[in-house]
Structure 1
Amino acid sequence: MDEFLEQIRRSGVTLTPELAAAFAGLPREAFVPDGFRRNGGGWARPGDDDFLSLVYQDDALVTKVRDRLPISSSSQPSLMALMIEALDVRPGLRVLEIGAGTGYNAAVLASIGATVTSVDVQEDVAGRARAALARAGVEGVTVEQGDGYAGHPGGHFDRVIVTVGVAGISPRWLDQLEPDGVIVAPVDHAGMHPVLAARRPATLADPAGPLTAGLVCHAGFMTAAGPLSATHPGSFPPAAGARELGELTEFAPARFDPPLEGIPYRDLWYASGVWDRRTSHAAVPGVQQSSLALIDDDRSGGAVIFPDGSVRTAGPTLLGAEAASILDRWIAAGRPAVSMWRVGFTLTGDPEAPIWVPGSWELTS
């Protein structure tokens, strides 16, 4: 268990004693009794020689797949820790969790003293989470099947944490949130789900806004169902497949030596999404990971910004110049990290199921 905690810390997380004790005291294997998908394919099952060693890696564990796509999982523990610390949970607080997953996240919250109501739209997922919590002997968690957009009607909560990728923040959560409450949610941005921490002022007269948020970290999540993932004016384009953009040709040479890796590349990606709503990602033949891309509105072409700062274009597009301009702007701004952005929200979407989505951004020092 000490090695498990060290893995979480090596991912850049400073665990509080309470959170470290929660991770150390919970048997993660109890929450994946039917196993999970291996990173290289196949299924890891209890009884496999490497099952426990895989369970106690700082990895997400995919527990349900449909049409070869993951639709339920146990989140990466270091990401869980970052989100829980941003939630500012203390003993006695009431937490609404949107997305039950395996029940492991709710168990960690309960272990540090929260009372948790977890809502999941998938009835079988909710049922398995209840069973896992009982198996692990965790108290203080109620799991309900329902549409996460509605939250828990009639409930009152001090915190809301969302464990699936969403388009924005449901007004229903705000209705159920106490003054000065906190919402931590992974909100869609340019094909990723960076985690936002939104705090409503205690003196707010209008319980629906204004709402602002800071950025916690980069992340990618499975996407929620229903109104929580509905498109809206300003939605980013879907990702482009490996052959969709066509053959790429060089537009601008490399700028970064060494190339941007990991978080700095995602920092650039986030800024691109702020400055151009055509930002998404593209699968590029011969490139293992998805790449930052600007995609034409008619999807006839686009521009790809690679980690070395080079720009390549495909199709009859004018986006190469826009991509180069984004690089210029990001460099001139001092290569801002994602944590430097402050987000404001706009109410949009279906009038029957509106949603608060990021609509304005400013850089903080």
Structure 2
Amino acid sequence: MKNGMNPEASQQARASYAAQIVRLAGVENSRIEEAFAEVAREAFLPDPPWTVISMGSALVTSNLADIYDNVLVALDAQRGINNGEPALHAAWIDAVGPQPGETVIHVGAGTGYYTAILACLVEPRGRIEAFEYEADLAAKAQRNLQPCPSVTVHATSAFGRVLPNADVIYVNAGVVAPDVEWLRALNPGGRLIFPWQPQKGWGPAVLVTRRAGGFSARSLMNVGFISCSGVAEKPSIKNLPSEADLAAVRSIWIRSEREPDASAVAVYNDVWFSSEEVS
């Protein structure tokens, strides 16, 4: 192992960590706890010493126990890229509920840690299509995920391209508006979660579900994510939403299928958000 810790000790650390993470996230799904306990976080990080970030403070450490906590771990400090907060991801994964045999598209896979956790949850017979725009991170993800035959890593942006049909689309990069192709790729009953950041650097996580009458949407907790790379241009905004508007969202529509009406909360080139429930 990278840190010289024996496998048994690492497994014990992961079990305690997984229990802590699902408790903090308010998650009761035992499969999610098992997935966090199964995947070795250190296998997806740079060699130690690691920079661990918690509550705005940074700690440089080579102690494996320090990364098995609800902390960020830097992947590239200069670019502001980190491994992500485990409890937030546990909550998001619980919200989209990946099931065995499903197809997941992971946008912004980084070096693959949460991709590997998603892969555990769709086994057996499920598959993960992981997209990472940053070439160096994609190469590391490709290497790190070799033990996961269900995962295919794409070293490119998942924005502005036709995607394979999917049951879950899990987006780990902030966007001013979701790509219309993400909506089109969802199977009936499919779930999309993404950080909607119409204001600079912050906004709600939005959970979208494809229903018979359209795409239902709900704003969840506020988050801050690095902006999605590979976006050719920012969509024009006819209606910049307020914080109250963000909370009022109940559906999202493709403009070529339905033009905005009086229920519109925010309007973009290809999609618009509505306060109206999906019928």
Same fold by TM-score greater than 0.5? yes
Aligned residues: 244
**2:65 — aligned with what?**
53
1:24 aligns with 2:37: yes
Corresponding residue for residue 185 of structure 2: 176
Shift of 1:357: 4.8
Secondary structure of the residue aligned to 2:111 is coil
Report the AA paired with residue 97 of structure 1.
H
Alignment of 1:71-82 (within 5 A): 72-82=81-91
- Show the counterpart of 1:166: 175
Per-residue deviation at 1:85?
Answer: 1.2
In the alignment, is the contact (CA less than 8 A) between 2:218 and 2:251 conserved in 1?
A: no
| Aligned with residue 345 of structure 1, among 241, 246, 252 | 252
**Greater gyration radius:** 1
**Aligned match for 2:152, one of 142, 161, 165:** 142
Instruction: Provide the C-alpha distance between the structure 2 equivalents of 1:235 and 1:108, rounded to a whole number of angstroms.
Output: 37
Q: Percent identity?
A: 24
- Counterpart amino acid of residue 22 in structure 2: R
In the other structure, the counterpart of 1:116 is 128
**Maintained 8 Å contact 2:160/2:231:** no
1:62 CA drift (Å): 2.3
Partner of 1:356: 271
How much has 1:122 moved relative to structure 2?
1.1
TM-superposed CA distance for 1:146, in Å, is: 1.2
Q: Who is 2:228 aligned against?
A: 224
Do the aligned partners of residues 235 and 342 (structure 1) sit closer, same or farther apart at CA in structure 2, a change above 3 Å counting? closer
> Match for residue 239 of structure 1?
none
Matched, 1:4 2:14: no
* Equivalent position amino acid for 2:118 in 1: L
| Contact 1:73/1:102, CA 8 A, preserved across alignment | no
Q: Which residue of 1 aligns with 2:76?
A: 64
In 1, Cα distance between equivalents of 2:92 and 2:26: 10
SS of 1:184's equivalent in the other structure is strand
Residues in 2 aligned to 1:362 and 1:217: alpha-carbon distance in whole angstroms: 20
Structure-2 change in CA distance of 1:99 and 1:218 (3 Å)? same
Q: Which runs of 4+ in 1 moved over 4 A?
A: 41-44
Provide the residue aligned with 2:262 in structure 1: none
8 Å contact kept, 1:193–1:219: yes
- Who is 2:244 aligned against? 274
Q: Secondary structure at the match of 2:46?
A: coil
Deviation at 1:158, TM superposition (A): 1.5
| Secondary structure, aligned partner of 1:158 | strand
Task: Give distance in 2, aligned partners of 1:16 and 1:229.
Answer: 39
One-letter amino acid of the structure 1 residue matched with residue 252 of structure 2: F
State the partner residue of 1:185. Answer: 194
- In 2: Cα distance, 1:235 partner to 1:41 partner: 38
The 2-side partners of 1:64 and 1:86 are apart by 28
Any idea what SS the aligned residue of 2:225 has? coil
1:38 to 52, 57, 65: 52
TM-align CA RMSD: 2.8
Alpha-carbon deviation of 1:221? Answer: 1.1
Cα deviation digits, residues 322-343 of structure 1 (max 9, x gap): xxxxxxxxxxxxxxxx5xx443
Amino acid at match of 2:251: G
In structure 2, C-alpha distance between the alignment counterparts of 1:26 and 1:101, rounded to whole Å: 15
2:176, 2:207 → 1: CA distance? 14
- The answer to whether the 8 A contact 1:187-1:195 is kept is yes
Q: Secondary structure at 1:38's aligned position in 2? A: strand
- The whole-number CA distance in structure 1 between the counterparts of 2:173 and 2:185 is 19
Mapped to 1, the partners of 2:42 and 2:79 lie a distance apart of 22
Which of 82, 96, 114 in structure 1 is aligned with 2:105? 96
Q: Is the 8 A contact 2:209 2:217 kept in 1?
A: yes
Determine if contact 1:59/1:77 at 8 Å carries over to the other structure: yes
Q: Distance in 2 between matches of 1:195 and 1:146?
A: 23
Deviation string, structure 1 residues 51-89 (Cα, Å, up to 9, x no partner) = x12211112222023xx441x322211111111111121
Secondary structure in structure 1 of the residue aligned to 2:90: helix
Residue 195 in structure 1 maps to residue 208 in structure 2: no
Relative to the length of structure 1, the TM-score reads 0.60
230 and 19 in structure 1: CA distance in 2 versus 1, 3 angstrom threshold: same
Counterparts of 1:312-331 in structure 2, within 5 Å, are none
Where do 5+ consecutive residues of structure 1 fail to align? 205-209, 237-270, 278-337
Q: What code does the residue aligned with 2:208 have?
A: A
Amino acid of the residue matched to residue 178 of structure 1? N
Instruction: State the shift of 1:187 in Å.
Output: 0.8
What are the ranges of 5 or more consecutive residues in structure 2 without an aligned counterpart? 1-13, 256-267
SS of equivalent to 1:11: helix
TM-score by length of 2: 0.76
1:14 and 2:14 correspond: no
Equivalent of residue 106 in structure 1, options 109, 115, 122 = 115
